[in-house]
Structure 1
Amino acid sequence: MKIEVSAEKRTLQGKGASRRLRGSGKVPGIIYGGDNAPQAIELDHNDMYYKLKMEAFHASILTLSVGGSKEQVLLRDVQMHPYKQLVLHLDFQRVDQKKKIHMKVPLHFINADIAPGVKTSGGNVSHVLTEVDVTCLPKDLPEFITVDLIDLSAGHTLHLSDIIVPENVEITALVKGDDQAVATITIPRSVLSSGSAEEGGEAEGEAEASEE
Protein backbone atom coordinates (compact mmCIF):
# COMPACT_ATOMS: atom_id res chain seq x y z
CA MET A 1 0.00 0.00 0.00
CA LYS A 2 1.40 3.41 -0.98
CA ILE A 3 0.84 6.02 1.69
CA GLU A 4 1.74 9.68 1.22
CA VAL A 5 2.11 12.21 4.01
CA SER A 6 2.27 15.98 3.58
CA ALA A 7 4.30 18.17 5.91
CA GLU A 8 5.86 21.62 6.14
CA LYS A 9 9.21 22.69 7.52
CA ARG A 10 9.04 23.90 11.12
CA THR A 11 11.22 26.84 12.11
CA LEU A 12 10.02 27.63 15.63
CA GLN A 13 10.90 25.03 18.27
CA GLY A 14 10.56 24.57 22.00
CA LYS A 15 7.66 23.66 24.33
CA GLY A 16 5.84 26.95 23.83
CA ALA A 17 6.06 26.79 20.05
CA SER A 18 4.92 23.15 20.02
CA ARG A 19 1.96 23.98 22.28
CA ARG A 20 0.85 26.80 19.99
CA LEU A 21 1.32 24.51 16.99
CA ARG A 22 -0.97 21.88 18.50
CA GLY A 23 -3.48 24.57 19.33
CA SER A 24 -3.66 25.42 15.62
CA GLY A 25 -4.44 21.82 14.64
CA LYS A 26 -0.88 20.84 13.75
CA VAL A 27 1.49 18.16 15.06
CA PRO A 28 5.24 18.73 15.52
CA GLY A 29 7.56 16.07 14.14
CA ILE A 30 11.06 15.37 12.95
CA ILE A 31 12.79 13.55 10.09
CA TYR A 32 16.24 12.13 10.76
CA GLY A 33 18.74 9.65 9.35
CA GLY A 34 20.52 9.31 6.04
CA ASP A 35 23.02 11.85 4.79
CA ASN A 36 20.88 14.90 5.48
CA ALA A 37 20.58 16.80 8.74
CA PRO A 38 17.51 16.29 10.94
CA GLN A 39 14.55 18.41 9.81
CA ALA A 40 11.83 19.67 12.13
CA ILE A 41 8.40 19.47 10.49
CA GLU A 42 4.73 20.12 11.18
CA LEU A 43 1.81 17.97 9.99
CA ASP A 44 -1.98 18.18 10.02
CA HIS A 45 -3.22 16.65 13.27
CA ASN A 46 -6.49 15.16 12.02
CA ASP A 47 -4.83 13.60 9.00
CA MET A 48 -2.16 12.00 11.21
CA TYR A 49 -4.67 10.88 13.84
CA TYR A 50 -6.66 8.86 11.30
CA LYS A 51 -3.60 7.59 9.46
CA LEU A 52 -2.25 6.24 12.75
CA LYS A 53 -5.34 4.03 12.98
CA MET A 54 -4.21 2.29 9.77
CA GLU A 55 -2.17 -0.84 10.45
CA ALA A 56 -0.17 -0.33 7.25
CA PHE A 57 0.91 3.16 8.34
CA HIS A 58 3.07 1.60 11.06
CA ALA A 59 4.70 -1.06 8.84
CA SER A 60 5.17 0.52 5.42
CA ILE A 61 7.63 2.70 3.57
CA LEU A 62 5.93 6.11 3.58
CA THR A 63 6.35 8.92 1.05
CA LEU A 64 6.80 12.14 3.01
CA SER A 65 6.44 15.37 1.07
CA VAL A 66 8.08 18.39 2.70
CA GLY A 67 7.94 21.69 0.85
CA GLY A 68 7.58 19.92 -2.50
CA SER A 69 10.50 17.53 -1.86
CA LYS A 70 9.60 13.85 -1.37
CA GLU A 71 11.48 11.39 0.81
CA GLN A 72 11.00 7.70 1.65
CA VAL A 73 10.63 7.31 5.42
CA LEU A 74 9.55 4.95 8.18
CA LEU A 75 7.43 5.94 11.16
CA ARG A 76 9.70 5.30 14.13
CA ASP A 77 7.97 6.83 17.14
CA VAL A 78 4.61 8.28 18.13
CA GLN A 79 3.91 10.25 21.28
CA MET A 80 0.26 10.37 22.33
CA HIS A 81 -1.44 12.34 25.10
CA PRO A 82 -1.99 10.12 28.20
CA TYR A 83 -5.77 10.40 28.08
CA LYS A 84 -6.81 12.80 25.30
CA GLN A 85 -7.17 11.74 21.66
CA LEU A 86 -4.22 13.91 20.79
CA VAL A 87 -1.04 13.17 18.84
CA LEU A 88 1.84 15.03 20.48
CA HIS A 89 4.86 14.25 18.30
CA LEU A 90 5.97 12.03 15.38
CA ASP A 91 9.43 10.74 14.46
CA PHE A 92 10.26 9.63 10.91
CA GLN A 93 13.47 7.96 9.75
CA ARG A 94 14.82 8.37 6.23
CA VAL A 95 15.20 5.16 4.24
CA ASP A 96 18.26 4.14 2.26
CA GLN A 97 17.08 1.70 -0.40
CA LYS A 98 20.46 -0.04 -0.36
CA LYS A 99 20.56 -0.68 3.39
CA LYS A 100 18.58 -3.31 5.27
CA ILE A 101 16.09 -2.13 7.86
CA HIS A 102 14.58 -3.60 11.02
CA MET A 103 10.83 -3.22 11.24
CA LYS A 104 7.98 -4.70 13.28
CA VAL A 105 5.41 -6.28 10.95
CA PRO A 106 1.91 -7.37 12.05
CA LEU A 107 0.89 -11.03 11.89
CA HIS A 108 -2.40 -11.95 10.20
CA PHE A 109 -3.79 -15.31 11.35
CA ILE A 110 -5.91 -17.37 8.96
CA ASN A 111 -7.86 -20.67 9.10
CA ALA A 112 -8.21 -20.57 12.89
CA ASP A 113 -11.85 -21.69 12.67
CA ILE A 114 -10.96 -24.88 10.77
CA ALA A 115 -7.80 -25.78 12.67
CA PRO A 116 -8.12 -29.33 14.12
CA GLY A 117 -7.63 -28.03 17.64
CA VAL A 118 -10.62 -25.69 17.24
CA LYS A 119 -12.97 -27.56 14.91
CA THR A 120 -12.49 -31.05 16.34
CA SER A 121 -11.35 -30.47 19.91
CA GLY A 122 -13.27 -27.28 20.73
CA GLY A 123 -10.14 -25.36 21.66
CA ASN A 124 -9.32 -21.67 21.58
CA VAL A 125 -6.45 -20.07 19.68
CA SER A 126 -4.09 -18.03 21.84
CA HIS A 127 -1.92 -15.48 19.99
CA VAL A 128 1.42 -15.35 21.77
CA LEU A 129 2.76 -12.81 19.24
CA THR A 130 0.79 -10.32 17.15
CA GLU A 131 3.79 -8.78 15.38
CA VAL A 132 7.34 -9.80 14.54
CA ASP A 133 10.56 -7.91 13.87
CA VAL A 134 11.96 -8.54 10.39
CA THR A 135 15.15 -7.61 8.56
CA CYS A 136 15.10 -6.81 4.83
CA LEU A 137 15.76 -4.19 2.21
CA PRO A 138 13.09 -1.46 2.07
CA LYS A 139 11.73 -2.74 -1.27
CA ASP A 140 11.07 -6.17 0.27
CA LEU A 141 9.26 -4.97 3.39
CA PRO A 142 5.91 -6.82 3.70
CA GLU A 143 2.84 -4.97 4.92
CA PHE A 144 2.03 -8.03 7.06
CA ILE A 145 2.94 -11.71 7.37
CA THR A 146 0.29 -14.41 7.09
CA VAL A 147 0.25 -17.19 9.69
CA ASP A 148 -1.72 -20.27 8.61
CA LEU A 149 -3.19 -22.24 11.52
CA ILE A 150 -4.85 -24.92 9.38
CA ASP A 151 -2.74 -27.79 10.78
CA LEU A 152 -2.57 -26.68 14.42
CA SER A 153 -3.92 -29.25 16.88
CA ALA A 154 -4.92 -28.85 20.53
CA GLY A 155 -1.97 -28.73 22.87
CA HIS A 156 0.44 -27.89 20.07
CA THR A 157 2.33 -24.64 19.48
CA LEU A 158 3.27 -22.84 16.29
CA HIS A 159 6.76 -21.29 16.35
CA LEU A 160 8.52 -18.62 14.31
CA SER A 161 10.30 -21.33 12.32
CA ASP A 162 6.89 -22.58 11.13
CA ILE A 163 6.00 -19.26 9.50
CA ILE A 164 6.47 -18.82 5.77
CA VAL A 165 7.95 -15.38 5.13
CA PRO A 166 8.28 -13.53 1.79
CA GLU A 167 11.46 -13.89 -0.22
CA ASN A 168 14.47 -11.88 1.01
CA VAL A 169 12.83 -11.29 4.41
CA GLU A 170 14.35 -12.65 7.62
CA ILE A 171 12.76 -12.90 11.05
CA THR A 172 15.28 -11.17 13.31
CA ALA A 173 14.70 -13.46 16.32
CA LEU A 174 15.37 -16.59 14.24
CA VAL A 175 18.64 -15.15 12.98
CA LYS A 176 19.63 -14.84 16.64
CA GLY A 177 18.52 -18.44 17.32
CA ASP A 178 15.37 -17.52 19.26
CA ASP A 179 12.51 -19.67 17.92
CA GLN A 180 9.69 -18.00 19.82
CA ALA A 181 6.17 -19.35 20.16
CA VAL A 182 3.62 -17.58 17.94
CA ALA A 183 0.28 -19.28 18.63
CA THR A 184 -1.13 -22.23 20.51
CA ILE A 185 -4.51 -23.94 20.96
CA THR A 186 -5.77 -24.67 24.45
CA ILE A 187 -8.87 -26.58 25.55
CA PRO A 188 -11.16 -24.65 27.93
CA ARG A 189 -11.96 -26.27 31.27
CA SER A 190 -15.64 -26.31 30.41
CA VAL A 191 -14.95 -28.47 27.36
CA LEU A 192 -12.68 -30.79 29.35
CA SER A 193 -15.29 -31.06 32.13
CA SER A 194 -18.14 -31.87 29.73
CA GLY A 195 -15.96 -34.44 28.02
CA SER A 196 -15.16 -36.15 31.32
CA ALA A 197 -18.83 -36.12 32.30
CA GLU A 198 -19.83 -37.74 29.01
CA GLU A 199 -17.18 -40.44 29.42
CA GLY A 200 -18.38 -41.07 32.98
CA GLY A 201 -21.97 -41.40 31.78
CA GLU A 202 -21.01 -43.85 29.05
CA ALA A 203 -19.07 -45.93 31.58
CA GLU A 204 -22.04 -46.05 33.95
CA GLY A 205 -24.33 -47.12 31.10
CA GLU A 206 -22.02 -49.91 30.10
CA ALA A 207 -21.80 -51.10 33.74
CA GLU A 208 -25.59 -51.17 34.10
CA ALA A 209 -25.96 -53.06 30.83
CA SER A 210 -23.47 -55.69 31.97
CA GLU A 211 -25.31 -56.16 35.30
CA GLU A 212 -28.58 -56.76 33.46
Structure 2
Amino acid sequence: MSKQTLEAKLRTATGKTAAKNLRKEGRIPAVVYNSKGEATSIEVGEVEFNKIWRTITPTTSITLNVDGKESLALIKDVEYNIRNDKVLHADFFAPDADEKLVMKIKIHYTGTPAGVLKGGFKKERNNEIKIKAAIADLPETITADISGINVSEALRVKDLKLDSKVEVLTSAELPLVTVSPARG
Protein backbone atom coordinates (compact mmCIF):
# COMPACT_ATOMS: atom_id res chain seq x y z
CA MET A 1 0.00 0.00 0.00
CA SER A 2 1.49 3.33 -0.97
CA LYS A 3 1.48 5.74 1.93
CA GLN A 4 0.85 9.18 0.58
CA THR A 5 0.59 12.23 2.81
CA LEU A 6 -1.37 15.35 1.98
CA GLU A 7 -0.73 18.53 3.97
CA ALA A 8 -3.83 20.58 4.85
CA LYS A 9 -4.77 23.62 6.91
CA LEU A 10 -7.94 24.38 8.83
CA ARG A 11 -10.09 26.90 7.01
CA THR A 12 -12.04 29.58 8.86
CA ALA A 13 -13.44 31.59 5.95
CA THR A 14 -16.16 29.78 3.99
CA GLY A 15 -18.47 30.74 1.16
CA LYS A 16 -18.10 31.46 -2.55
CA THR A 17 -15.80 34.48 -2.22
CA ALA A 18 -13.46 32.71 0.20
CA ALA A 19 -13.37 29.64 -2.08
CA LYS A 20 -12.55 31.78 -5.14
CA ASN A 21 -9.75 33.54 -3.26
CA LEU A 22 -8.31 30.17 -2.18
CA ARG A 23 -8.33 28.89 -5.76
CA LYS A 24 -6.50 32.04 -6.94
CA GLU A 25 -3.76 31.21 -4.39
CA GLY A 26 -3.42 27.66 -5.78
CA ARG A 27 -5.35 26.06 -2.90
CA ILE A 28 -8.47 23.88 -2.99
CA PRO A 29 -11.31 24.25 -0.46
CA ALA A 30 -12.18 20.88 1.06
CA VAL A 31 -14.17 19.21 3.83
CA VAL A 32 -13.27 16.24 6.04
CA TYR A 33 -16.17 14.18 7.37
CA ASN A 34 -15.79 11.78 10.28
CA SER A 35 -17.87 8.70 11.19
CA LYS A 36 -20.37 10.81 13.13
CA GLY A 37 -21.02 13.00 10.08
CA GLU A 38 -19.23 16.00 11.57
CA ALA A 39 -17.55 18.21 8.99
CA THR A 40 -14.29 20.15 9.26
CA SER A 41 -13.45 22.77 6.63
CA ILE A 42 -9.88 22.56 5.36
CA GLU A 43 -7.77 23.70 2.42
CA VAL A 44 -5.18 21.69 0.48
CA GLY A 45 -2.55 22.59 -2.10
CA GLU A 46 -3.81 22.18 -5.66
CA VAL A 47 -0.57 20.66 -7.05
CA GLU A 48 -0.12 18.20 -4.17
CA PHE A 49 -3.80 17.15 -4.26
CA ASN A 50 -3.75 16.55 -8.03
CA LYS A 51 -0.58 14.43 -7.79
CA ILE A 52 -2.33 12.10 -5.35
CA TRP A 53 -5.90 12.24 -6.71
CA ARG A 54 -4.94 11.33 -10.26
CA THR A 55 -3.00 8.20 -9.23
CA ILE A 56 -5.16 6.51 -6.59
CA THR A 57 -8.12 4.14 -6.50
CA PRO A 58 -11.35 4.72 -4.50
CA THR A 59 -10.01 2.40 -1.76
CA THR A 60 -6.59 4.05 -1.41
CA SER A 61 -6.19 5.60 2.03
CA ILE A 62 -4.03 8.68 2.35
CA THR A 63 -2.56 10.32 5.43
CA LEU A 64 -4.26 13.67 5.84
CA ASN A 65 -2.11 16.01 7.96
CA VAL A 66 -4.33 18.89 9.14
CA ASP A 67 -2.17 21.42 11.00
CA GLY A 68 0.04 18.63 12.40
CA LYS A 69 -2.81 16.22 13.31
CA GLU A 70 -2.64 13.11 11.12
CA SER A 71 -5.49 10.76 10.22
CA LEU A 72 -6.12 8.17 7.53
CA ALA A 73 -8.70 9.36 5.02
CA LEU A 74 -10.30 8.45 1.70
CA ILE A 75 -11.03 10.94 -1.06
CA LYS A 76 -14.80 10.51 -1.31
CA ASP A 77 -15.87 13.12 -3.83
CA VAL A 78 -14.27 15.73 -6.05
CA GLU A 79 -16.02 18.62 -7.75
CA TYR A 80 -14.18 19.15 -11.00
CA ASN A 81 -14.37 21.71 -13.83
CA ILE A 82 -13.79 19.85 -17.10
CA ARG A 83 -13.39 23.07 -19.09
CA ASN A 84 -10.20 24.20 -17.40
CA ASP A 85 -9.10 20.85 -15.89
CA LYS A 86 -9.25 22.23 -12.32
CA VAL A 87 -10.47 20.72 -9.08
CA LEU A 88 -12.99 23.06 -7.44
CA HIS A 89 -13.66 21.21 -4.16
CA ALA A 90 -12.84 17.91 -2.45
CA ASP A 91 -14.55 15.80 0.20
CA PHE A 92 -12.53 13.50 2.45
CA PHE A 93 -13.81 10.78 4.78
CA ALA A 94 -11.75 10.05 7.89
CA PRO A 95 -13.39 7.16 9.78
CA ASP A 96 -12.35 5.86 13.19
CA ALA A 97 -9.31 3.57 12.83
CA ASP A 98 -11.22 0.47 14.02
CA GLU A 99 -14.41 1.17 12.03
CA LYS A 100 -15.11 -1.43 9.34
CA LEU A 101 -15.94 0.13 5.96
CA VAL A 102 -17.98 -1.58 3.26
CA MET A 103 -16.57 -0.80 -0.18
CA LYS A 104 -16.83 -2.03 -3.75
CA ILE A 105 -13.49 -2.74 -5.37
CA LYS A 106 -12.59 -3.57 -8.96
CA ILE A 107 -10.57 -6.66 -9.80
CA HIS A 108 -7.79 -6.47 -12.39
CA TYR A 109 -7.02 -9.65 -14.30
CA THR A 110 -3.58 -10.65 -15.55
CA GLY A 111 -2.47 -13.46 -17.82
CA THR A 112 -4.18 -15.44 -20.57
CA PRO A 113 -6.27 -18.41 -19.45
CA ALA A 114 -4.86 -21.83 -20.43
CA GLY A 115 -8.29 -22.68 -21.87
CA VAL A 116 -8.11 -19.75 -24.30
CA LEU A 117 -4.78 -21.03 -25.61
CA LYS A 118 -6.59 -24.34 -26.28
CA GLY A 119 -9.32 -22.61 -28.30
CA GLY A 120 -11.81 -21.66 -25.55
CA PHE A 121 -13.47 -18.29 -25.05
CA LYS A 122 -12.83 -16.09 -22.00
CA LYS A 123 -15.78 -14.24 -20.51
CA GLU A 124 -15.38 -11.70 -17.70
CA ARG A 125 -18.62 -12.08 -15.77
CA ASN A 126 -17.87 -9.76 -12.85
CA ASN A 127 -15.01 -7.41 -12.17
CA GLU A 128 -16.16 -5.95 -8.87
CA ILE A 129 -16.69 -7.38 -5.39
CA LYS A 130 -17.91 -5.96 -2.09
CA ILE A 131 -15.49 -6.06 0.86
CA LYS A 132 -15.44 -4.97 4.50
CA ALA A 133 -12.28 -3.82 6.27
CA ALA A 134 -10.81 -1.11 8.49
CA ILE A 135 -9.39 1.85 6.55
CA ALA A 136 -5.77 0.77 7.17
CA ASP A 137 -6.52 -2.72 5.78
CA LEU A 138 -8.34 -1.71 2.58
CA PRO A 139 -6.54 -3.07 -0.48
CA GLU A 140 -5.75 -0.43 -3.13
CA THR A 141 -6.33 -2.96 -5.89
CA ILE A 142 -7.04 -6.65 -6.26
CA THR A 143 -5.14 -8.41 -9.02
CA ALA A 144 -6.00 -11.96 -10.02
CA ASP A 145 -3.89 -14.20 -12.26
CA ILE A 146 -6.26 -16.03 -14.61
CA SER A 147 -3.62 -18.00 -16.54
CA GLY A 148 -4.54 -21.26 -14.75
CA ILE A 149 -8.17 -21.39 -15.91
CA ASN A 150 -8.90 -24.23 -18.36
CA VAL A 151 -11.88 -24.81 -20.65
CA SER A 152 -15.16 -25.17 -18.69
CA GLU A 153 -13.53 -23.75 -15.55
CA ALA A 154 -14.05 -20.49 -13.67
CA LEU A 155 -12.23 -18.15 -11.32
CA ARG A 156 -14.58 -17.60 -8.39
CA VAL A 157 -14.58 -15.04 -5.58
CA LYS A 158 -13.31 -17.72 -3.15
CA ASP A 159 -10.20 -18.16 -5.36
CA LEU A 160 -9.00 -14.57 -4.76
CA LYS A 161 -5.96 -14.18 -2.53
CA LEU A 162 -6.86 -11.48 0.02
CA ASP A 163 -5.48 -10.41 3.38
CA SER A 164 -7.16 -12.15 6.34
CA LYS A 165 -8.25 -8.73 7.67
CA VAL A 166 -10.41 -8.19 4.56
CA GLU A 167 -13.88 -9.72 4.76
CA VAL A 168 -15.50 -10.49 1.39
CA LEU A 169 -19.25 -9.80 1.36
CA THR A 170 -19.84 -11.01 -2.21
CA SER A 171 -20.90 -14.67 -2.58
CA ALA A 172 -17.84 -16.97 -2.56
CA GLU A 173 -19.26 -19.00 -5.46
CA LEU A 174 -19.80 -16.02 -7.79
CA PRO A 175 -17.89 -16.64 -11.06
CA LEU A 176 -15.58 -13.76 -12.02
CA VAL A 177 -14.01 -15.15 -15.19
CA THR A 178 -15.07 -18.26 -17.10
CA VAL A 179 -13.63 -20.08 -20.12
CA SER A 180 -16.22 -21.77 -22.32
CA PRO A 181 -15.42 -24.37 -24.95
CA ALA A 182 -15.24 -23.41 -28.62
CA ARG A 183 -18.52 -23.96 -30.41
CA GLY A 184 -18.08 -26.74 -32.84
Taking structure 1 as the reference length, what is the TM-score of the superposition? 0.71
| Residues 1:62 and 2:59 aligned together | no
Partner of 2:19: 18
Higher relative contact order (CA 8 A, sep 6+): 2
Which structure has greater strand proportion? Answer: 2
Deviates more, 1:4-13 or 1:80-89: 80-89
Return the alpha-carbon distance in structure 2 between the equivalents of residues 180 and 42 of structure 1. Answer: 43
State which drifts further: 84-93 or 13-22.
Answer: 13-22
Give the secondary-structure state (helix, strand or coil) at the position aligned to 2:29.
strand
Q: Distance in 2 between matches of 1:184 and 1:39?
A: 47
1:152 maps to amino acid: I
State the alpha-carbon separation in 2 of the partners of residues 85 and 36 from structure 1. 30
Where 2:170 maps in the other structure, the secondary structure is helix
Query: Deviation at 1:41?
Result: 0.8
Q: CA RMSD in A?
A: 2.9
Aligned with 1:150 (options 147, 152, 158) = 147
The alpha-carbon deviation at position 122 of structure 1 amounts to 6.5
Q: Cα distance, 1:167 vs. partner? A: 0.6
Residue 40 of structure 1 corresponds to 41
* Structure 1 position 118 matched with structure 2 position 116: yes
Alpha-carbon distance in structure 1 between the residues aligned to 2:143 and 2:161 = 8
Question: How do 1:118-137 residues align onto structure 2 when only pairs under 5 Å count?
Answer: 118-121=116-119, 123=121, 126=124, 128-129=126-127, 131-137=128-134
Kindly report structure 1 stretches of 4+ aligned residues shifted beyond 6 Å: none
Conserved? CA contact 1:118–1:125, under 8 Å: no
Rounded to whole Å, the distance in 2 between the matches of 1:84 and 1:96 is 36
| Deviation per residue, 1:110-168 (Å, 9 max, x gap) | 2x23x123322274564742x43310123322222221212324565534333232212
- Which residue pairs with 2:79 in the alignment? 79
Structure 1: which amino acid aligns with 2:139?
P
More helix per residue: 1 or 2? 1
Partners of 1:185 and 1:24 in 2: how far apart?
55
Match of 1:49, SS state, is helix
Partners of 2:25 and 2:120 in 1: CA distance: 54
Give the aligned partner of residue 31 of structure 1. 32
Whichever residue aligns with residue 65 of structure 2, its letter is S
Question: What SS class does the counterpart of residue 87 from structure 1 fall into?
Answer: strand
Indicate conservation of the 8 Å contact 1:6/1:43, yes or no: yes
Contact 1:126 1:186 in 2 (8 A): no
Of structures 1 and 2, the larger Rg is shown by 1
Cα offsets for 1:150-207 (capped at 9, x unmatched): 2324565534333232212122333xx8x554334579xxx97xxx7xxxxxxxxxxx
Q: Superposed, which structure 2 residues align to 1:137-176 within 5 Å?
A: 137-153=134-150, 157-174=154-171
Residue deviations 1:23-67, cap 9 Å, x none? 3221111111146942101111122112112135x3233211111
Q: Does 1:183 align with 2:177?
A: yes
Unaligned runs of 5+ in 1: 197-212
